[in-house]
Amino acid sequence: MIAECPVCRRPRVTESELCSLHWEAMKNIEKGYEVWQRAFGRHVTRHDYFDHLVRLEETGIAVKSVIAYMQRKSLGAA
């Protein structure tokens, strides 16, 4: 049985529980959060960062899907 991405059910990459598309989105989310923390003096919570990203029109569907998954996972509902 091939392990599936919990976001889209495609085969996941070895390095992650996600497929290649959502793994790249996750890496970009993490990099962006580090930049925001440096820019705002570490006063930005993940929740605030995620909330801002999902409201931006420029944020892609893959990133929004990963954020939704991460939020469900943190609530124990993933």
In a domain, 42, yes or no: yes
pTM comes to 0.84
CA distance 22 to 20: 6
In a domain, 67, yes or no: yes
What band does 26 get if pLDDT is binned at 50, 70 and 90? very high
Does residue 78 register a pLDDT over 70? Answer: no
CA distance 50 to 33: 9
Regarding predicted confidence, which is higher, 66 or 37? 66
In a domain, 6, yes or no: no
Task: Report the domain count for the chain.
Answer: 1
What percent of the chain lies above the pLDDT cut of 70?
95
Domain, as residue range, for 66? 22-74
Are residues 50 and 58 in contact, defined by beta-carbon separation less than 8 angstroms? no
In a domain, 35, yes or no: yes
Amino acid at 63: V
Regarding predicted confidence, which is higher, 22 or 43? 22
Phi, psi of 11 (to 5 degrees): -60, 140
In a domain, 36, yes or no: yes
